[in-house]
Amino acid sequence: MRRPPPLLILLLAPRFHTLQRSDEAFTAIASATSSRSTYPWNSRLRELAKGGLHLQVLRLFRVMLLTPNPRPDAFSLPSALRSAAALSLPSVVSSFHCLAIKNGSYPGDPFVLSSLLSAYSCLSLLPLADVLLRQISSLGSLTPGPTLVVCYNSVISGHVFPSEEAVSLFIQMRRSELPFNSITLLALIPVSPLSSVPLLHAAATVSGFGSVSAVANCLITAYSKTGDVDLACRIFDEMPHPRELISWNSLISAYAQNGVAHRVLDLFQKMELSGEAEPDPVTLVCVLSSCANLGAKGFGLKIERIIEKHESFSSNIFLKNALINFHARCGDLSRAGEMFDGMPEKSLISWTAMISGYGMHGCGEIALNVFERMLAEGFRPDGVLMVSVLSACSHSGLYKSGMQYFLSMKDVYGVQPRAEHYACMVDLMGRAGRLKDALELINSMPMEPDGAVWGALLAACKVHKNVELGEMAFEHVAELEPTNVGYYVLLSNIYLAAGRLDGVARIRGLLKRRGLKKDPGCSYMEDKGRVHLFLADDHSHLQNEEIYQMIARLEWLIREEDDLDVEKINWDEYGEPERLIGIHSEKLAIAFGLLNTEPGREIMVMKNLRVCEDCHLFIKLVSKLVDRRFVVRDASRFHHFEGDPVPVRITGEVCSYGFHLPVKSSSTILH
């Protein structure tokens, strides 16, 4: 039989891997060539490594070591090193390093040098990689400049967590007058401390690599972590057109992660109009999350229609979970439940979203039923899901159930309680009036209590007007989170309820000395696909005059119907009476909704802070007057109002849902 040409064998060798032929076929090819040729062996090694068949790489390399010919050379070692690192075999990498020294490929061969550094870096053996890098750098003219750049890139990419060492390596490169490239920046930016991001941005701009899409995307993500979304937006705007989907997703994710949900929706619309890219599941998950945060139900339903049109999207479990979360947080538990029940396969995130949704709406019993159903189907809870379970118990006043689940976490469910679980329990005990038990639980914690734990106790002290314990809780929380204005406000309200105006003045002075300002209360409402924002005493809306006239008429009607003196108002959660700071934002949103929606339609409002007692009472009475269902989601939970004739004070307990009354038509009241 005529022997095939060696070049043909080299070209055909990758096909044997593609067709998943056995090693016997490869051996037949290799035996047909000169016994000293390493071409087919090295080609086979590269193809196996490229296909992720790392164990087969090492087996074949072992055959080469055990046979007299051919012996491994400088082209064999890179594949073997890559596979040993991928299989997390540091001792094997060290053995190959010794082999490279023995056969002379180290330190003379640049491919072996960079492969060794990549292997050590991949295994997080950074001290060894640094030593090796210094040895290579000391070779001077023996090591070509491009090879040194590759070596530096390999070590930098080995840093997984933010590290000053990675930046130091970059500075060392610059001092050695080594040119860096886009690969250097792509490896460096994600692992650099946030304080170094402007430095790397400047280096990218000066070198011209800032216009490379991958580098720009990396910088957008980095600035997102620093919270500077405006600079991230500027980088995006300066990118050459057309921009790829990953660039749009980078900025959309940056907005979503930094809580500027309205920008997410604006950018998504801009992407649609530009025609530069089509959304993928990553895009749509971020947009749905922002719709949930804003209560933008109409916009979210538009996204749901996009998902339904694409078969690959409609079966995506991440999108399903995002839709469940969206519907639950926009007040449509029925639709969320339908989607959940219709999922052929559920993940732990699916169960968490459903349990959390019921918990937020005060449906604690249903949430616990879903949890028990999850356990029956063989799922094991994690720490995040247990937070949802305990929160559901807290919001619904299910003290005994909450205690039972908390005490069973470690032994029954295999979840070690963390600080966030203790915070839920302190909140649960506080709502039940068990402040002493809550303090004992805090003192028994196996870890140091964080601000959320002490903050939960402080909130309970406000509900139950316990000044002494509230002061103690504030001392701890102010030390842990000195810039969190909400905790100062809680103590101020405790003093106010106790008639301690000197304490109120002291807290105000403390805020002023520390340069802290209260977050402005704002409310959102969606109408006809557009999200409207209202601030306290806001006069900027186009319907400003009609909105304030509506509020005045509603207050007059409430006074007539219920003999309620609307001047006897409560203080808001920041200790400010409405007559001093103006009409609260949720009242403005409710009035706007009544003006712009048809009679009988549910009105949903989102607020960034907790609803004050005055507004809670106002909305409940308006609901009775106009025969409307109002759903208000604040920083704490959902509040449902539906014709309850008995005003309910917010005391930290579950809101009363009341019952529906056949009252006057809203059309006769409002016109």
Which top CATH class is 420-518?
A: mainly alpha
Residue 391 near residue 636 (C-beta atoms within 8 A): no
Low-confidence ranges of the chain (pLDDT < 50): 1, 3-22, 141-142, 564-575, 577, 579-581, 644-671
Least Cα distance to 297 among 633, 544, 541, 612 occurs for 633
Pairwise CA distance, residues 627 & 669, whole Å: 10
* Confidence (pLDDT) at 600: 83
Residue 213 pLDDT: 93
Strand intervals (E) in 477-629: 522-527, 530-535, 603-607
Counting Cα atoms < 13 Å in the Cβ hemisphere of 200 gives 31
Q: What is the DSSP letter of 539?
A: -
Alpha-carbon distances of 578 from 501, 506, 615, rounded to whole Å: 18, 21, 10
**Is the distance from CB of 180 to CB of 151 less than 8 angstroms?**
no
What are the structural domain ranges in the chain?
A: 364-417, 420-518, 522-670
CB 123 within 8 A of CB 91: no
- Between CA 556 and CA 302 the distance in angstroms is 39
- Which residue type sits at 485? V
Q: List the alpha helices (DSSP H) in 67-178.
A: 77-86, 90-103, 110-122, 126-138, 145-157, 164-175
Q: Which of 490, 365, 466, 477 lies closest to 423, judged by CA?
A: 477
Token reading at 7: 């070049």
Q: What's the rounded Cα separation, in Å, for the pair 422 and 486?
A: 20
Pairing label, strands 638-641, 603-607: unpaired
Q: Give the position of tokens 């949903």.
A: 604
What residues does 631 pair with on adjacent strands?
Answer: 604, 640
Please give the Cα distance from 329 to 327 (Å, whole number): 6
CA dist 343 → 287, 314, 340, 351, 373 (Å)? 21, 10, 6, 11, 15
Please give the sequence-ordered ranges of beta strands (E in DSSP) within 414-488, or none if there are none: none
Longest dimension (CA), the chain: 109
φ/ψ of 609, rounded to 5, equals: -115, 180
The pLDDT of residue 137 is 65
Q: pLDDT value at position 135?
A: 67
Residue 230 sits at φ, ψ, to 5 deg, of: -65, -40
| Per-residue model confidence as pLDDT tens digits over 31-73 | 555 556 777 788 888 888 888 888 888 888 888 888 777 778 8
Phi, psi of 516 (to 5 degrees): -100, 140
3-state secondary structure at position 639:
strand
Q: What is residue 638's predicted lDDT score, i.e. its pLDDT?
A: 85
Name the β-bridge partners of 603: 630
Phi-psi category of residue 37: left, alpha or beta, with phi > 0 → left and psi -120 to 50 → alpha: beta
Q: What is the pLDDT of residue 42?
A: 81
Residue 575 pLDDT: 46
Nearest partner of 221 among 263, 192, 243, judged by Cα: 192
The pTM (predicted TM-score) of the whole model is 0.75
Report the distance separating Cα 410 and Cα 402, nearest Å: 14
Phi, psi of 526, rounded to the nearest 5 degrees: -100, 135
φ and ψ of 51, to 5 deg: -85, 0
Segments of 483-591 assigned E as strands: 522-527, 530-535
Task: Report d(CA 370, CA 376) in Å as an integer.
Answer: 10
d(CA 5, CA 32): 9
Structure tokens at 222: 């980095």
